[in-house]
Structure 1
Amino acid sequence: MKLVISVIFLVILTVVVSVPAPSLKDAPSCRIDQCRIPYCQCYNTKPTLALNQIPQIVVISTDDAVTAGNYEALYKSLYSGRKNPNGCQIGVTFFVPHEYTDYSVVHALYAAGFEIGVNSISKYHDVEYWNTADHNLLKDEFLGQKQILEKFAKVNQDVILGARTPLLQMNGDLTFWAYQNSSLVYDNSWTTVKETEWPYTLDYKSEQDCLIGKCPKESHKGFWILPINDWIDTKGYPCATIHGCIYKPNDTVEATFNWLKDNFDRVYYGEKIPFNIIANAGLFTSNFRAAYIKFLDYIQSFRDVYIVTQNHAIRWATNPLPIGNVNLFPCDPVYVHDNGKSRTCKLKKGGEDRYMTIYDEACPKVYPWVGNPMGN
């Protein structure tokens, strides 16, 4: 049954990503009679289930370089062995940038059942770069990173479905056409202060707040948005990420735990929209780590809370199943990871020497980069 569900979902995605050209027209207002799941979802459409039948979805993600140090110190110790109420391993989504990433570790995460998504190749920390990049450059960043992940981490491109842009910066419709021409099917870059917004598609006009960068206006058939619902800092100001909150709690375990808990409780005892946690490595001081573990234990004490990948959250939006349904958030497949197939390559990037660890693949000739993802 789980295999059938996965195949059906991939067939749906194959249909919706075949939209290669811009329309150059603003998307019309949504027509509920013509926009039906699983292929289409109007903005601000709530599940038809009663609130007590809606699972509280929690989506944990990172967009850091994936390194051996982070894997051993964070990912394995924080997430491995944790189970959802149905007995399946919890899910985490890794939006992987290229530079400094260890692709053998990426394969280990993929093999363990975690989701691998796209960030970019360069991850330039420059707002203007992402706000002014044209379609071809953006496609080189996103599609190129998909190709790198497939070749050097042995992650099947067919399961690399989602993206998050660096710095959460979008360049309007150009970003989304680049996504679609890279066979990506959902975005998790678009922030909102509203606590009522569920996943939706861009077939029709979006009324989501545009808080960072440039937001799309055209129709992008079948392309899903999983909004990043803002956190609230200790003085009541919204922030898209924990790291981005200006007024954080005192750096004690108890103060940090209470703040994490308050943000979760506001959603859980409200509309039960998907709760986003962007948990990048830079957050994890010793006190934050202890508070975060205590927080994970707290949310897992609820029998209706499911920590799932972004892919699973989108799947649920296409077919909202109630708590207790046997097909709710099926277990992800796991694969064999062989550390003996790792290889570290010394490569040239311009005049610099770079070291790149890859999985089950020969070393490229040069360091892969934008415009040359295979390192030819």
Structure 2
Amino acid sequence: MQRILAVIFFLAVFLHQSQAQCNTTNCVGPACKCMNTSPPGGLSLANTPQLVFLAFDGAITTTNYDNYTFLFNNTTNPNGCPIGMTFFIFHEYNDYTLTHSLYFKGQEISTHSMSHLTPAATWANKSVTEWTDEIGGIRDALSKFANIPKTSIRGARAPFLQSSGDATFTAMKNLGMFYDCSFPTTNYTNPPVWPYTLDQGFQHECAIPPCPLSKYPGIWTVPMVALNRNDTVCSMADACDKPNTFEETYQYLMSNFQRHYTTSKAPFGIYLTANAWFQDAQYRLQAYKKFLNDILVNDDVYVVPIARGLDWMKNPKPLAEVPNFFNCPTVTKTPCTNYTCYYEGDASPVGPRNMKSCVTCPDVYPWTGNPLGLP
């Protein structure tokens, strides 16, 4: 018991020191940003866009692909460009051909893990090598089988929001990852806190330990600012009590958005496991769409992928220049031939599996330690 209390005391002291030691002298913006509720670059709230991050966890399947495209089709930012979402993808049951399609529709593809194995608690003790295999492995698989540029895959989210602290971030640093979005905050929700860099260490409360204790210059963390529903809070929107009607869903999203929009204008995130929230509840999907249409009436609201939002924070432009900054993405299309791959026996370490790929089927089922399915 004394050892546990000592660890808790050490973490509390460390986090206090991390917050106290980050200042404008040792963290010069806009490339470095301390945790606070102020917009980057000294912008006034009136001159700051309200960024909205829509992120979804899990494999891309036919069902959720249809839901995603329903949400972003014919939905545009004030400058007339399509909105952008972020997808944290794990390998199991992922359709890489649909992943390819999402990317070339202007959506962000990010990493979740290769295996996404349970129980969740095991992820707290994984080594740097294991995290490198998981994060680097799914990035390699996404690039290869969805035929998208590896350099475009810049973000990470830990499975079940359970990191191993420094081991996770050391792996991210070694892999050259740009940001993480795994750490909830319930202490910094009103006004909501902005994303910040880890140049001076992790600075908000450690809701799901272990959290990183070292400094990681240039890596951003996007705090998962908790949502409020019926006086309960949740970092994943589907973790709160599910709304039972169209109107409940709409009010749930809008009331939390307004808390950001009317205070600090910190990015508003809706983080979801889509299958858990939209399945058998089309009214939630319809209410989500109406919510998007209604907030985008405002000329200062932009729904963008997380990485593009952080790019703006590194180079903050006043509201008048935001339409050009978030201009319509132009990408050079790469081919995607629809291959259906099947594996069993010695060709799959996890039992019979199907996999949809943009390129010729690998010899064995891709898995941790062999993400490209090499013989």
| Aligned position for 1:243 | 238
CA distance in 2, matches of 1:290, 1:96: 24
What TM-score does the superposition give when structure 1 sets the normalisation length? 0.87
| Aligned position for 2:315 | 319
Q: 1:52 aligns with which of 46, 50, 56?
A: 46
| Aligned position for 2:351 | 352
Q: Does 1:331 align with 2:328?
A: yes
Check whether the contact 2:348–2:365 (CA below 8 A) recurs between aligned residues.
yes
| Aligned position for 2:8 | none
The alpha-carbon deviation at position 351 of structure 1 amounts to 6.6
Amino acid of the structure 2 residue aligned with 1:223: I
The alpha-carbon deviation at position 91 of structure 1 amounts to 0.7
> Which has a greater percent of helix?
2
- SS of 2:110's equivalent in the other structure is strand
The alpha-carbon deviation at position 74 of structure 1 amounts to 0.7
CA distance in 1, matches of 2:180, 2:96: 23
Amino acid of the structure 2 residue aligned with 1:239: C
CA distance in 1, matches of 2:364, 2:35: 45
| Aligned position for 2:58 | 64
Check whether the contact 1:37–1:319 (CA below 8 A) recurs between aligned residues.
no
Amino acid of the structure 2 residue aligned with 1:221: P
Q: How does 1:191-202 map to 2 (within 5 A)?
A: 191-193=184-186, 194-195=188-189, 196-202=192-198
Residues 317-340 of structure 1: CA distance to partner in whole angstroms, max 9, x if unpaired?
11221212153322222343656x
Name whichever of 344-353 and 95-104 sits farther off. Answer: 344-353
Give unmatched runs, 5+ long, in structure 2.
1-16
Amino acid of the structure 2 residue aligned with 1:370: T
Give unmatched runs, 5+ long, in structure 1.
1-25
The alpha-carbon deviation at position 353 of structure 1 amounts to 1.8
Q: 2:22 aligns with which of 17, 30, 35?
A: 30
Amino acid of the structure 2 residue aligned with 1:203: D
CA distance in 1, matches of 2:100, 2:242: 34
Q: How does 1:28-107 map to 2 (within 5 A)?
A: 29-44=21-36, 46-47=38-39, 48-71=42-65, 73-107=66-100
Check whether the contact 1:203–1:222 (CA below 8 A) recurs between aligned residues.
yes
Amino acid of the structure 1 residue aligned with 2:372: M
Check whether the contact 1:107–1:153 (CA below 8 A) recurs between aligned residues.
yes
CA distance in 2, matches of 1:49, 1:351: 52
| Aligned position for 1:363 | 361
What TM-score does the superposition give when structure 2 sets the normalisation length? 0.88
Residues 105-124 of structure 1: CA distance to partner in whole angstroms, max 9, x if unpaired?
11111111111110000112
1:345 and 1:365, CA in 2 relative to 1: closer, same or farther beyond 3 A?
same
| Aligned position for 1:158 | 151
The alpha-carbon deviation at position 82 of structure 1 amounts to 1.2
Q: How does 1:194-213 map to 2 (within 5 A)?
A: 194-195=188-189, 196-213=192-209
1:334 and 1:242, CA in 2 relative to 1: closer, same or farther beyond 3 A?
same
Q: Does 1:116 align with 2:118?
A: no
CA distance in 2, matches of 1:372, 1:213: 29
Amino acid of the structure 2 residue aligned with 1:62: F
| Aligned position for 2:277 | 283
| Aligned position for 1:20 | none
Q: Does 1:272 align with 2:265?
A: yes
Name whichever of 188-197 and 104-113 sits farther off. Answer: 188-197
Aligned residues: 345
Check whether the contact 1:112–1:335 (CA below 8 A) recurs between aligned residues.
no
Check whether the contact 2:30–2:316 (CA below 8 A) recurs between aligned residues.
no
CA distance in 2, matches of 1:206, 1:43: 9
Q: Taking every aligned residue pair, what percent have the same amino acid on both sides?
A: 38
CA distance in 2, matches of 1:61, 1:337: 24
1:61 and 1:351, CA in 2 relative to 1: closer, same or farther beyond 3 A?
closer
| Aligned position for 2:5 | none
